[in-house]
Amino acid sequence: MNRVVHPIEQESYRRLRARLDTSHFPPLTRAVVERVIHSAADLEYATDLVMDEGELVTAHAALHAGAPVVVDVEMVAAGITRRETVCRLRDAVAGPGLTRSAHAIRLAYEQVGPGALWVIGNAPTALEELLTLDADPALVIGLPVGFVGAVESKAALRESGLPAVSNVSEKGGSAVASAALNALLYHPVPDSEETP
């Protein structure tokens, strides 16, 4: 993806790197950490985020091969640039023991099936519902925010063994979740025709 980076963004990253050394991170992990920090102006994400470089490499390939991107809310969708997303929240209905966000995840899974990238930045119940499905995701970016259920849902994601980007604290939200996906979207695709 050819992307022109605005001078303000370039300067923001320069200042970020002047305050925090991210050079020890592997390439995709560094891209995610830096973009999340940039989106929130919160350097603590460098030690709060949890991810695996190998899983990011696989997810990066799936994303650039056209895997669907599913989001929990329109705010996450609005933050993801240059890529169509699936958000079924408008079609969802809350019911006994089922939040509207959880129902939206069910509807989205019925639409896209396995292999999608899931980006959850708002509702812990959306992440909890995803974990009950046999979604076989390419990646789950699980960064819901809040004091009720956010930490627990992200811990459950890490314990699930699914390929994931999460964080340990209550922090999160739509901006950081979309930033994590954008980091993968903007990161260059290796030239498959290069010889080793």
List residues with catalytic annotation: 38
What is the CA 62 to chain-centroid distance, rounded? Answer: 14
Other beta carbons within 10 Å of 94: 12
Pairing of strands 139-142, 164-167: parallel
DSSP 188: P
What does 77-117 look like in DSSP terms, one character per residue? HHH--SS--B--GGG---BTTB-HHHHHHHHHHHHH-TT-E
Q: Which amino acid is at 100?
A: R
